[in-house]
């Protein structure tokens, strides 16, 4: 007898009617660990053999024929009922009655705002006589398509439009590559239709007769599947698999959902048969009121699970809302589950409530506060709606979905409670317990959500590679791991594409590649890969029953080497440090999103922070980000630019400092340090010469005053993206086709895509760079050039949009403005006015820009300087900040001793006189501390000249 059977038998024998038994009672009686009992009980609940009673502690009862309390006690966290072949039926809830469902749309967040038109469309589709209209719901991942479809079903039930049939869901992706299996599940089959069909079996259409069938991910249906469906839509009749003469009739409303553009992802004959298209908005297009309401709904769902209040302040609210960057409401839900699980663990001794604290949030969710701060208008609207403290109670009546595709198939809080008790019994202290369990929570959540994401990514790979090849590649990956040969996560993508290219070349009768001497020489440096490649060759031969030439072994060896290679030393680290509460963080956040890098950190220096405190804080960031190749410190001005030597002494890490940091400079630093084994000295020197994204005469840079008068020349080379694969042929051509489509769809016509092979990659890149300006790279491995890189798997998983945004950033309007900066005072003034309007709130840019320009001219005349336009722009931006700090009474602070040391300096006296311009024209008096920082800024520039 298994442990599960033993527990079920004990429950059936000893549980009292309507009382049941607790986990502890069963564990003590049977002598089984409580955590193991809890696990088996939850499995039995999911199998519908037992159910839970409300209350704490949870009591369990076995399901019997005479038991009439099942629906009354069903918990909201109970898993969905698994019905016929992959369909999911939603269990009815105790409160969900037909009367409740009549106005179910009114309870939906956004039904009177961003979803008003969508709700009207849904009602019209359901109420249209005589039997309603078929509907297609379109929206990005996590936007609530399944929830919206479920609400349509509940509305139809409330209006008496459907019978007692449960809401049935069919995921088309499960059968995308097997139309026969798809047909058998949808329409049923007869005895003898295929091997193993021992009796007639009804299909999902028959089971849903009189009700609604939800076809999720309908774009994954093959053309044959779409034809089956639209024939049924036209005639209302179908035949089971294996039937020839008999037909069946069913009245079923269809609701379909897709994340793709139906015009390109579905047959036009299919789309024309669906008259109602409902487009759901992404999370970022929801109103602030709706975002807040969704947050409260999802928090209430967690509060109902743990039977505790949830308390959080406005920083946590803003961080959670700002953390939604790609997954819409689904991502918000998963983030809420993670922080609530962490809060539950931290407040496990508090029986009344859990408190979510900002400093305890995971780093990626903390970053949400910065993301939100980047949109001042949105932040302002949201701030007006927030109270200092939000308190969510478990008994709050909110209409939350019971089950959806983002629902965990287990009660996470029971897992936490069980493991905490077990670890405490083992004698661990609370910090150790927290550490163990939070690691476990992250693994549970990541494995659950990432599993779904991988399935979707594999579906994207299916678009260009046959499923048979993907299955073969998985076998090869398993074999290599059994041989203790390490492979990266991108192995499935790279090897699948390589095999696909090779097999199709053989099938088409094209000549096979010849082995070059360079390839043989290269592969002999990798004996382990050569040996494994021979074994992989044998697996491919066995699968396809065709001889594979020896030349392919060499190409396979090169591919294996590229997928295994790991850097021997790390990248140069980057720390961005700047004055202000979020200046450095904002710059590094933008660059991290553009390039997806992991070697950058930020340090914000609030105005009231002392230089000593800043030094210690930056030292911590340097230790954190160092990968063994030194750290580049990018600073804005003042004392920060003097820290290099002190930091090197304190950390024993080589540090190089560059001042006058801009977002463009951070972007360039990230590009240059993205290379493995990049050299700190070289990167530092090149960045000092950096002057925007344009090609300039040799030696030209911000500090090269002698050539600032020369005209800047635009890089005449055509822009290109390089796609790297093992051969540069079949596979790379597919990547090229994918990128070409992305470029065309985004109206980018001046960028070419060039496929190349890993073999001779370095020399080929040198040839390409003579003719082309390589602005980005992609493929199975990262080339060692200073250009952004996106991996092949990221591209296939939906990273194309971010890739295109990055390319736009590298060739946008501001780049053109920076390119003309040094030659045109007018361009400098226009750009400065644009930035003043963009980044400052309390100043009038057209009026202030003239005053600040006069300020710069005064400094130049009195000091007999020739300031570059780039420096003037930086000085204007700094002065604007000083003015705004003066207006808001938040000026900088500096120790009086530091100011006293500079008062007798001629430059300090000149700046004090220049401040009179601000006093006379704007009626503003800058504090001595502001003069100190202006002095540091100008003095640094003078020393550079």
User: SS3 letters for 339-351?
Assistant: HHHHHHHHCCCCC
Is residue 387 very low, low, confident or very high in pLDDT (cuts 50, 70, 90)? confident
Give the pLDDT confidence of 421-454 residue by residue, as tens digits: 766 766 667 766 666 666 656 555 554 444 444 4
Contact 890, 870 (CB under 8 A): no
Give the pLDDT confidence of 905-928 residue by residue, as tens digits: 889 999 999 999 988 888 888 888
The CA–CA distances, whole Å, from 376 to 70, 837, 838 equal: 51, 13, 10
Give the pLDDT confidence of 473-518 residue by residue, as tens digits: 888 888 888 887 777 656 777 787 778 777 766 766 655 556 656 5
Identify the residue with better confidence: 92 or 527.
527
* Cα–Cα distance measured from residue 234 to residue 878, given in angstroms and rounded to the nearest whole number: 68
Buried b (16+ CB within 10 A) or exposed e, 127-156: eeeeebebbbbbbbbbbbbbbbbbbbbbbb
Scan for tokens 């450095």, then name that residue. Answer: 584
Residue 328 phi/psi, 5-degree rounding, is 55, -145
* Cα–Cα distance measured from residue 864 to residue 330, given in angstroms and rounded to the nearest whole number: 61
Contact 688, 668 (CB under 8 A): no
Which residues are CB-contacts of 594 (< 8 A; sequence separation ≥ 6)?
A: 667, 788, 802, 805, 806, 809
What is the structure's pLDDT at 825? 66
Instruction: Look up residue 333 and give its two tokens.
Output: 């839900």
Contact 244, 202 (CB under 8 A): no
Give the pLDDT confidence of 867-920 residue by residue, as tens digits: 877 678 778 888 888 887 887 776 667 778 888 888 888 899 999 999 999 888
What is the structure's pLDDT at 45? 83
Could you write out the DSSP letters of every residue in 461-519? Answer: HHTTS-HHHHHHHHHHHHHHHHTT----TTHHHHHHHHHHHHHHHHHTTPPPPPPPHHH
**Beta bridge pairs of residue 779:** 724, 791
Helices (H), 746-864: 761-771, 792-794, 800-810, 813-820, 825-839, 845-863
Give the pLDDT confidence of 690-747 residue by residue, as tens digits: 655 433 333 333 333 333 333 334 456 778 888 887 665 656 677 777 787 777 766 6
Residue 356 phi/psi, 5-degree rounding, is -95, 120
Give the pLDDT confidence of 561-609 residue by residue, as tens digits: 766 644 445 678 999 998 877 788 878 877 776 555 778 999 988 877 7
* Cα–Cα distance measured from residue 925 to residue 539, given in angstroms and rounded to the nearest whole number: 79
Give the pLDDT confidence of 738-793 residue by residue, as tens digits: 787 777 766 666 788 888 877 777 788 888 888 888 888 887 677 777 677 777 66
Instruction: Look up residue 779 and give its two tokens.
Output: 């493929």
- C-alpha torsion 134→139→144→150, nearest 10: 10
Give the pLDDT confidence of 321-332 residue by residue, as tens digits: 998 887 788 889
* Cα–Cα distance measured from residue 545 to residue 484, given in angstroms and rounded to the nearest whole number: 27
Scan for tokens 């996560």, then name that residue. Answer: 489
Average pLDDT, the chain: 76
Helix (H) or strand (E) holding 236, with range, is none
* Cα–Cα distance measured from residue 144 to residue 153, given in angstroms and rounded to the nearest whole number: 14
Tell which residue, 648, 569, 573, has the closest CA to residue 603. Answer: 573
What is the structure's pLDDT at 693? 41
What is the structure's pLDDT at 707? 31
Can you give the pTM of this predicted structure? 0.44
Residue 695 phi/psi, 5-degree rounding, is -90, 125
Mean pLDDT calculated for residue range 12-38: 80
* Cα–Cα distance measured from residue 635 to residue 663, given in angstroms and rounded to the nearest whole number: 11
The CA–CA distances, whole Å, from 374 to 316, 369, 371, 799, 855 equal: 16, 9, 5, 22, 30
Contact 848, 911 (CB under 8 A): no
User: What number of H helices and E strands is found in the chain?
Assistant: 40, 25
Which residues are CB-contacts of 162 (< 8 A; sequence separation ≥ 6)?
A: 153, 156, 210, 211, 212, 253
Contact 33, 27 (CB under 8 A): yes
Instruction: Look up residue 422 and give its two tokens.
Output: 């077990």
Contact 319, 368 (CB under 8 A): yes
Longest dimension (CA), the chain: 105
* Cα–Cα distance measured from residue 476 to residue 213, given in angstroms and rounded to the nearest whole number: 39
Identify the residue with better confidence: 105 or 416.
105
- Identify the DSSP state of 241: B
* Cα–Cα distance measured from residue 253 to residue 209, given in angstroms and rounded to the nearest whole number: 9
> In the 3-class helix/strand/coil scheme, how is 584-625 assigned residue by residue?
HHHHHHHHHHHHCCCCEEEEEECCCCCHHHHHHHHHHHHHHH
Scan for tokens 């048969």, then name that residue. Answer: 273
Does the N-terminal peptide bond of residue 57 adopt cis geometry, omega within 30 degrees of 0? yes
* Cα–Cα distance measured from residue 387 to residue 389, given in angstroms and rounded to the nearest whole number: 5
Is the predicted pLDDT of residue 471 greater than 80, yes or no? Answer: yes
SS3 655: strand
Is residue 368 very low, low, confident or very high in pLDDT (cuts 50, 70, 90)? confident
């Amino acid at each position: 007898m298994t442990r599960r059977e033993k527990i079920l038998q004990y429950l059936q024998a000893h549980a009292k009617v309507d009382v049941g038994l607790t986990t502890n009672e069963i564990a003590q009686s049977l002598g089984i660990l409580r955590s193991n009992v809890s696990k088996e009980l939850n499995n039995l609940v999911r199998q519908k053999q037992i159910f839970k009673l409300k209350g704490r502690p949870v009591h369990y009862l076995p399901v019997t024929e005479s038991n009439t309390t099942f629906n009354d006690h069903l918990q909201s966290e109970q898993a969905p009922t698994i019905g016929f072949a992959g369909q999911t039926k939603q269990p009815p809830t105790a409160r969900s009655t037909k009367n409740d469902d009549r106005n179910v749309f009114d309870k939906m967040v956004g039904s009177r705002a961003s979803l008003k038109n969508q709700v009207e469309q849904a009602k019209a589709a359901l109420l249209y006589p005589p039997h309603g209209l078929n509907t297609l719901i379109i929206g990005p991942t996590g936007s609530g398509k399944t929830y919206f479809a479920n609400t349509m079903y509940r509305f139809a039930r409330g209006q008496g439009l459907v019978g007692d049939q449960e809401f049935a869901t069919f995921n088309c992706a499960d059968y995308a590559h097997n139309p026969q299996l798809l047909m058998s599940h949808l329409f049923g089959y007869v005895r003898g239709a295929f091997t193993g069909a021992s009796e007639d079996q009804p299909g999902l259409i028959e089971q849903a007769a009189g009700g609604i069938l939800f076809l999720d991910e309908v774009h994954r249906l093959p053309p044959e599947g779409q034809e089956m469906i639209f024939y049924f839509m036209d005639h209302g009749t179908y035949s089971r698999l294996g039937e020839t003469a008999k037909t069946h009739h069913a009245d079923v409303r269809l609701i379909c959902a897709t994340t793709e553009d139906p015009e390109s992802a579905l047959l036009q004959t299919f789309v024309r048969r669906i008259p109602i298209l409902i487009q759901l908005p992404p999370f970022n297009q929801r109103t602030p009121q709706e975002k807040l309401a969704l947050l409260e709904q999802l928090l209430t769902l967690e509060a109902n699970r743990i039977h505790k209040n949830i308390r959080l302040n406005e920083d946590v609210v803003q961080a959670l809302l700002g953390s939604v960057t790609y997954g819409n409401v689904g991502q918000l839900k998963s983030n809420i589950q993670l922080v609530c699980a962490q809060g539950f663990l931290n407040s496990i001794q508090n029986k009344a409530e859990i408190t979510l604290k900002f400093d305890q949030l995971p780093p990626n969710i903390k970053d949400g506060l910065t993301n939100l701060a980047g949109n001042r208008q949105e932040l302002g609207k949201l701030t007006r709606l927030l109270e200092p403290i939000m308190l969510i109670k478990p008994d709050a009546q909110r209409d939350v979905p019971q089950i959806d595709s983002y629902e965990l198939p287990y009660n996470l809080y029971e897992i936490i409670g069980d493991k905490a008790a077990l670890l405490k019994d083992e004698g661990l202290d609370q910090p150790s317990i927290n550490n163990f369990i939070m690691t476990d929570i992250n693994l549970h959540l990541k494995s659950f959500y990432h599993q779904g994401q991988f399935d979707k990514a594999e579906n994207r790979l299916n678009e260009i590679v046959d499923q048979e090849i993907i299955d073969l590649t998985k076998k090869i990956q398993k074999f290599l791991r059994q041989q203790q040969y390490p492979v990266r996560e991108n192995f499935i993508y790279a090897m699948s594409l390589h095999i696909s290219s090779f097999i199709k070349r053989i099938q088409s009768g094209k000549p096979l590649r010849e082995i070059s001497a360079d390839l043989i020489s290269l592969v002999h440096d990798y004996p382990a890969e050569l040996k494994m490649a021979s074994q992989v060759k044998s697996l491919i031969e066995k699968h396809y029953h065709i001889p594979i030439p020896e030349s392919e072994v060499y190409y396979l060896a090169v591919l294996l080497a590229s997928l295994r290679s790991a850097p021997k030393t790390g990248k140069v680290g980057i720390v961005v440090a700047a004055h202000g509460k979020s200046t450095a963080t904002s710059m590094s956040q933008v660059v991290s999103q553009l390039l997806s890098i992991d070697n950058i950190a930020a340090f914000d220096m609030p105005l009231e922070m002392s230089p000593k405190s800043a030094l210690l804080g930056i030292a911590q960031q340097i230790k954190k980000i160092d990968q063994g190749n030194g750290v580049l410190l990018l600073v804005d001005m003042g004392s920060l630019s003097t820290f290099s030597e002190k930091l090197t002494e304190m950390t024993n890490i080589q540090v190089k400092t560059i001042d006058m940091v801009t977002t463009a400079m951070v972007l360039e630093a990230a590009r240059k340090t993205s290379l493995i084994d990049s050299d700190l000295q070289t990167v530092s020197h090149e960045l000092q010469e950096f002057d925007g994204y344009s090609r300039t005469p040799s030696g030209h840079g911000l500090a090269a005053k002698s050539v600032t008068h020369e005209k800047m020349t635009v890089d005449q080379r055509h822009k290109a993206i390089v796609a790297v694969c093992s051969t540069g042929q079949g596979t790379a051509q597919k990547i090229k086709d994918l990128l070409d489509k992305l470029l065309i769809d985004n109206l980018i016509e001046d960028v070419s895509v060039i496929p190349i092979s890993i073999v001779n990659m370095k020399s080929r890149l040198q040839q390409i760079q003579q003719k082309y300006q390589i602005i980005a790279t992609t493929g199975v491995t990262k080339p060692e050039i200073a250009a952004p890189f996106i991996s092949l798997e990221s591209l296939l998983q939906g990273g194309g949009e971010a890739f295109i945004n990055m390319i736009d950033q590298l060739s946008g309007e501001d780049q053109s403005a920076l390119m003309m900066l040094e030659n045109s005072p007018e361009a400098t003034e226009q750009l400065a006015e644009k930035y003043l309007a963009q980044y400052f709130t309390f100043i009038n840019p057209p009026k202030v820009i003239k005053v600040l320009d006069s300020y710069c001219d005064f400094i130049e005349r009195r000091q007999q300087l020739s300031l570059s336009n780039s420096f003037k722009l930086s000085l204007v931006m700094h002065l604007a900040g000083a003015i705004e700090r003066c207006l808001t009474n938040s000026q900088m602070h500096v120790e009086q001793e530091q100011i006293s040391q500079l008062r007798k300096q001629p430059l300090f006296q000149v700046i004090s006189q220049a401040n009179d311009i601000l006093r006379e024209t704007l009626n503003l008096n800058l504090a001595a501390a502001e003069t100190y920082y202006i002095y540091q800024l100008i003095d640094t520039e003078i020393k550079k000249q």
